[in-house]
Chain A
Amino acid sequence: MPSVQLDQTPRQRWQKVLYKKQPFADNYVDQSFLEKLRKNVHARKYLYWAVVFESGVMIQQLCSVCVFVVIWWYMDMGLLAPQWLFGAGLVSSLIGYVFFDAIDSGAGRNESGRTRWADLKSSVVFVAFTYGFSPVLKTLTESISTDTIYAMSAFMLLGHLIFYDYGANAAIVSSTLSLNMAIFASVCLASRLPRSLHAFVMVTFAIQIFALWPMLQKKLKAQTPHCYVVITFLSAVSALVGLLTISSVGAVLFALLLVSISCLCPYCLIRLQLFKNNIHGPWDEAEIKEDLSKFLM
């Protein structure tokens, strides 16, 4: 009986299954074995300037943190009067508020359904609570050493940068946590300032730069990309100039960091994309891509 089967074997085609008894050696494969192999299915071609444009979010956030620290330094040194900062912040907030609605001519506001009364209420809450708590904030960390406060603030600002929502779809991103860490850092730093008015202005400024400014940025980026590029450039320059007045070495290092993020990193990404070698095939684990709910009904 086996001999009869052996005679018929050359006619049979090899099948890529294990459940059948086939007249081939165990390690036999034929031409069709790897024909379903695919390479770099999900690899994307990036345009250099597009990547540079997208890195603007990160530049902006770095610059915000830098400007915040520089302003705090000026306040701590007594070089900047809190009234000036408060006035400047108020004016820029009002301008930003007008811009925020003017850019998309009120479409976003209609969509979210948020009234101006709610905005006013929120701002009153901000100002009232900050002003009310500023004497408490002033004495809050009196007995804690300055180095501890600096370390805590640096740690919190770093956390703010790490968890910030840059547009990537990752599990680590949490805009709530990021904002909370920034506010915590600002409260810590504000408690080191000489008077309670300083602390109040500092915390208000922190809300403007960490909570309100990114919202306007997002809208600018979506609606008027050219304007966004200009603003990114301006904020980078202002952060650098501010840093230069404090420490030239720091300014140089910060400039290098910005350049490497906006120019070097996109270049590296595009170059490394060439070496990408992902293989896909029928052995991949199953992925549910379509929405199956219509079948479930």
Chain B
Amino acid sequence: MVLKVFFPACCSLAESGLLVGRWIPEQNSAVILAVVHFPFVPGQVKQYLAEVHHVTQVEVSVLGSWTNSKQAKEENLGRFLEDLSTIFSHDPWIQLSRKQGSKFWSCSTIWKHPSGDEGDETTLVYYDQRKVMLSQLHPPLDSEVAAASSLDRKVENASRLMAMFNTVSQSKVLFMKDRYDEGPIKLTHWQSEGVEASIIVELMKQASVPACLLVTFLLSLVSRVCQSRALTFWPLSFIWSKLSTCQQLRHRLQHLQVISSPKKAPDQSQLMRKANIFVSILLDVTLGILLMSWLYRKNRIGHLANALIPMADHVAQQLQDLLQWLMGVPAGLKMNRALDQVLGRFFLYHIHLWISYIHLMSPFIEMILWYVGLSACLGLTVALSILSDIIALLTFHIYCFYVYGARLYCLKIYGLSSLWRLFRGKKWNVLRQRVDSCSYDLDQLFIGTLLFTILLFLLPTTALYYLVFTLLRLLVVLVQGVIHLLVDLINSLPFYSVLLRLCRSYRLASGVKFRVLEQEAGKPLRLLMQINPLSYGGVMQAYRLPTYSCYPKDSWGSLCKKLFVGELIYPWKHKGEKQD
């Protein structure tokens, strides 16, 4: 088995010393984390490493020695290094040495218990310690794994890499010691020139704790008000569950609770989730405030309110024209005149009622819009949800027509299907879920056939009304669906992850690739490890925020079937479906 030595690229110029790292016996590989410089007291080094081990739970130990031949010119150094191996007993003992002017490094391993594989090759793998420490390795996604033929091998490789990445990222404490620290031990690693930190970040960390506490307190107040009994008795709770604004507000409230919880995020994915939610809310509120500033300038609200009433009137006028057309001979279709007149007048009366209500409300519309517009400071999504609700309320007459038409049509379809069975002398057997033959009485047959004939001849009229109002309803649902899709997009898009992928692509790793630096017989192979960034699709899949989905999940086929049978379709999901 090839011995792999992962060597941090930043240590290649370090002075001679000891290699500190972790030995992973299952993979026959050594992960070098830092170089300890001469001079040192072996006891202190051991004690320091024990402390590090205690804090990080990573088995850090001295793995071997490092010689940079620029400094070491003495002949007796070889002997000295071998003596070191007896002090820090490790199996195997790795001796890395670099000659000045030569590209190739020499590497020799000493096994305490020679097991016959002395002639093993050694591979040196350079890695960028900073990137590896900061990057988050993503295991291969299910779809990719399924596509790959060697499934097990891929998973195994991923877990090996994971072990290496974890070793580096967990030994953060080791890297906190820079060269300016007073101490008996001098180390070389990526931060040895100075620890990276930002004053702003530290200040924000300090400030976030009281801010979080304050937000949590406010949130608990708000949620207590929301859950009070006055707002949750039956008809109100039903209305709340149907208004998309309430759903959006509840969703955002949960998000705020997640962010402001004073507990530390347990793992990386939770941390990313928090960051994503935070950026999402920030963006949302920014867009909302922009919208608000646009709306309240130059009295745009007033113009909007003035335009709204004529628009509703116009829609009602169009509907009236449509009904008049349907009451005549629409498209040359042969309708039952009596039923046609009855239905047409019924719907016309509804429109009349609707217009009177709108006009009754018209003096208050500007005021209502002015106050509703303020809600945009809660975020663009809330404003969009309110827009969706306003559309739903303004097109309530269309919804009513649709429900009447659908109910009537549904009744006819079900009646016709069961009467058609009666017409053939059959019936539906509920117990066996099949059609059985049945002998009916004479009066049953007579009434059944009479009704069948009447329903059959009245079907085209009802079907036409149903068709027209369903098309109108679908138009409204489509507009609402687009708005909901937009809201859902803002809710679910992981902006922080996408930004990270855009600017710091190594932070989200999907794997690594190796580049061969030099190769020569007798010398160890030298590889450079580079991080493969995660694809944007992978980022979406891994960090997509879960949302309440308010648009129907019906497939197209079932939707068409529902439309044909006359079942009601809703833009929101049914309660029963939501649970599963």
Where the two chains meet, the residues of A that have a C-beta atom closer than 8 Å to any C-beta of B are 121-122, 125-126, 129-130, 133, 136-137, 139-144, 174, 176-177, 179-180, 183-184, 187-188, 203, 207, 211
Contacts and interface: CB of A to CB of B under 8 A. Distances in A.
B400 interface: no
Contacts of A140: 336, 453-454, 457-458
Interface in B430-464: 439-443, 445-450, 452-454, 457-458
Contact of A143 (B334, B440, B441, B450): B334
B421 to A, nearest CB: 11
A144 B461 CA distance: 12
Given A139-B336, A143-B336, A177 B446 contact: no
Contact of A129 (B336, B422, B424, B447): B447
Contacts of B449: 180, 183-184, 187
B423 A180 contact: yes
12 contacts: A122-B442, A125-B447, A126-B443, A137-B454, A143-B336, A176-B424, A180-B425, A180-B449, A183-B449, A184-B423, A184-B453, A188-B453
Given A176-B445, A177-B425, A133 B337 contact: no
Contacts of A137: 454
Interface in B390-432: 422-425
B445 A183 contact: yes
A137 to B, nearest CB: 7
B230 interface: no
Given A177-B424, A207-B446, 7 more contacts: A122-B442, A140-B453, A143-B334, A180-B445, A183-B446, A187-B450, A203-B450
B453 A143 contact: no
5 shortest interchain CB distances as A-B pairs: A176-B425, A143-B334, A183-B449, A187-B453, A122-B443
Nearest to B438: A176
A125 B443 CA distance: 7
B424 A174 contact: yes
Contact of A177 (B337, B423, B450): B423
Contact of B452 (A126, A136, A176, A184): A184
A144 B334 contact: yes
A136 B457 CA distance: 11
B450 A130 contact: yes
Contact size range, B: 20 to 34
B338 interface: yes
A137 B450 CA distance: 9
Contacts of A180: 422-425, 445, 448-449, 452
Contact of A179 (B335, B337, B445): B445
A144 B457 contact: yes
B335 A143 contact: yes
B446 A133 contact: no
B45 to A, nearest CB: 95
A143 to B, nearest CB: 4
Contacts of A129: 446-447, 450
A140 B448 CA distance: 16
A183 B450 contact: yes
Contacts of B443: 121-122, 125-126
A130 to B, nearest CB: 7
A19 to B, nearest CB: 45
B337 A142 contact: yes
B380 to A, nearest CB: 53
Nearest to A145: B334
Nearest to B439: A176
Interface in B446-485: 446-450, 452-454, 457-458
A121 to B, nearest CB: 8
A232 to B, nearest CB: 23
Contacts of A207: 446
Nearest to B461: A143
Contacts of A177: 423-425
Contacts of A141: 457
Contacts of A126: 443, 446
A295 B361 CA distance: 85
A183 B452 CA distance: 11
A187 B423 CA distance: 14
A241 to B, nearest CB: 30
B452 A139 contact: no
A177 B422 CA distance: 9
Nearest to A114: B441
A96 to B, nearest CB: 14
A141 B338 CA distance: 11
A201 to B, nearest CB: 15
Contacts of A179: 442, 445
A137 B456 CA distance: 12
Contacts of A136: 454
B334 A211 contact: no
A137 B439 CA distance: 27
B444 to A, nearest CB: 9
Contacts of B458: 140
B424 A133 contact: no
A130 B449 CA distance: 12
A117 to B, nearest CB: 13
B105 to A, nearest CB: 90
A207 B424 CA distance: 18
A176 B441 CA distance: 10
A143 B446 contact: no
Contacts of A125: 443, 446-447
A140 B453 CA distance: 9
Contacts of A130: 450
A143 B337 contact: yes
B52 to A, nearest CB: 87
A119 to B, nearest CB: 10
Contacts of B423: 177, 180, 184
Nearest to A182: B449
Contacts of A142: 336-337
A133 B443 CA distance: 15
A129 B335 CA distance: 24
A146 to B, nearest CB: 12
Nearest to A133: B450
A216 to B, nearest CB: 13
A126 B425 CA distance: 19
Contacts of A143: 334-337
Contacts of B335: 143
